[in-house]
Amino acid sequence: MSDAEIAVRALRSLDLTDLTDTCSDQAIDALCKKALDPRGPVAAVCVWPQFVKRAQDNLKGSSVRIATVVNFPAGGEDVSRVADDTQEALSDGANEIDLVLPYGALRRGDPAVAREMVEAVREMVDQERLLKVILETGELKDPKLIETASRIAIDAGADFIKTSTGKTPVSASPEAAEIMLNAIKASGKPVGLKPSGGIRTLADARIYLDLADRIMGEGWATPRTFRIGASSVYDTLIAALEGRDGAAASGAY
């Protein structure tokens, strides 16, 4: 595929994200304006729960969905609290919930709490909305643990499995994404993939789209089954669409 073709696919599958500690109302307004660019639009914006209502006001009448995060970024184990946070976010207007799996429980050999949390949140997220489960693969590290986390999330009802919060030293990696895609394929379920964190260039986006095409088949990676979670790649994708130099700079991997 040409750079422009990759850029179009990536842009339309983008969860344009602002989960910075300094996020403000003005930043959300700017984020939503980018999201609605006619060269897109992007698939969704991903914002802190307190900004869901503002994003909803900005995006009213558009196709851009509103994602927010729960149990983020620490991946705690208080199922009741996370369920309450999820209900509040949905009431505020969130279309998609990005839930951090209690990955620490998996690392110590206790998968039950992870499964329980995904199932509890799944009960609240109806079929018109999406549940994305963040595995935090950079902290799980072990390929077998990443596979186990993928399987738990899929079996418990995730619509997407997502690599990372973007808040740890290691975020998305092609190696983790490949394990996750193979778990999705083996499950036979209509589950999507969201690589997230550290995706900054067109070359990075191409890596993950190529992986999806190779493992799941060409045409699988649409916004319904494939998202890229990023904040900094947007301008690069726009540059590629406009044919400006530097858009396809070498990726991190």
pLDDT value at residue 250: 36
Between CA 99 and CA 131 the distance in angstroms is: 7
3-state secondary structure 95-136: CEEEEECCHHHHHCCCHHHHHHHHHHHHHHCCCCCEEEEECC
What are the tens digits of pLDDT across the range 25-37? 999 999 999 999 9
Residue 246 has pLDDT above 80, yes or no: no
Residue 1's pLDDT is 83
Q: What average pLDDT does this structure show over 231-248?
A: 83
Q: Find the catalytic residue in 85, 159, 194, 204.
A: 194
List domains and CATH numbers for the chain: 3-241 (3.20.20.70)
Segment 7-20, tens digit of pLDDT: 999 999 999 999 99
Catalytic residue (choose from 18, 98, 159, 204): 98
Compute the distance between CA of residue 203 and CA of residue 209 in angstroms, rounded to an integer: 10
DSSP at 196: B
Q: Taking the CB of residue 126, how many other CB atoms lie within 10 A of it? A: 9
pLDDT digits (tens, 9 = 90+) for 161-192: 999 999 999 999 999 999 999 999 999 999 99
Q: pLDDT tens digits, residue range 68-84?
A: 999 999 999 999 999 99
Out of 15, 132, 162, 204, pick the active-site residue: 162
Is residue 183 within 8 A of residue 150, CB to CB? The reply is: yes
78 catalytically annotated? no
Q: What integer is the mean pLDDT of 185-210?
A: 97
How far CA 87 is from CA of 150, 187, 216, 226, 250, in Å, comes to 24, 28, 33, 25, 41
Mean per-residue pLDDT over the chain, rounded: 95
Cβ atoms 86, 99 nearer than 8 A? yes
pLDDT exceeding 70 applies to what percent of the chain?
96
- Note the maximum CA span of the chain: 50
Binned at pLDDT 50, 70 and 90, residue 42 comes out as very high
Question: b/e map of 194-206 (b: 16 or more CB within 10 Å)?
Answer: bbbbbbbbbbbbb
162 in catalytic set: yes
Residue 245 has pLDDT above 70, yes or no: no
- pLDDT of 244 reads 81
* pLDDT tens digits along 120-155: 999 999 989 999 999 999 999 999 999 999 999 999
Q: Is 194 a catalytic residue?
A: yes
Q: Quick one: CA torsion of 78, 82, 85, 90, rounded to 10 degrees?
A: -170
Q: What is the pLDDT of residue 164?
A: 98
Q: How would you classify the pairing of strands 96-100 and 160-162?
A: unpaired
